[in-house]
Amino acid sequence: MQKTPIIMVIQSTENHLTINVSNSASVLSADIPKMTTRFWRKGTTEGAGLGLSIVDTIAQIYKGSITLKNDKNTFVAEFTIPVRIITSPSI
């Protein structure tokens, strides 16, 4: 299996936290909808097939989203959840 670099970008705004993970993997468009299914793996790849399923569950619990796509020979997984700033009173 060829190892490819992974790029991770974390961004936050007043309302959202976004984690974007990408690499130059070859992913079939037909496989993308299956990738958040628990235990789904492509072929004989290593792993349990739980990673994106767990991320999808976390996104649902926190009313966020996960977007998976191919973008110019790069596979991109983007995880977004809403956040709110809570300030504690001064003591």
pLDDT tens digits in sequence order for the chain, 91 residues long: 567 788 999 999 989 999 999 988 777 777 777 777 776 666 666 665 567 888 889 999 999 999 999 877 888 899 999 998 777 777 6
8 forms beta bridges with: 21
Q: pLDDT for 66-89, tens place per residue?
A: 999 987 788 889 999 999 877 777
Fold of the domain built from segment(s) 26-82: Heat Shock Protein 90 (3.30.565)
CA angle 33, 48, 7 (to 5 degrees): 65
Locate the domains of the chain by residue range: 26-82
* pTM reported for the whole predicted model: 0.73
Which of 28, 27, 47, 31 minimizes the C-alpha distance to 39?
47
pLDDT at 43: 65
State the DSSP string of 38-54.
Answer: TT--STT-SS-S-HHHH
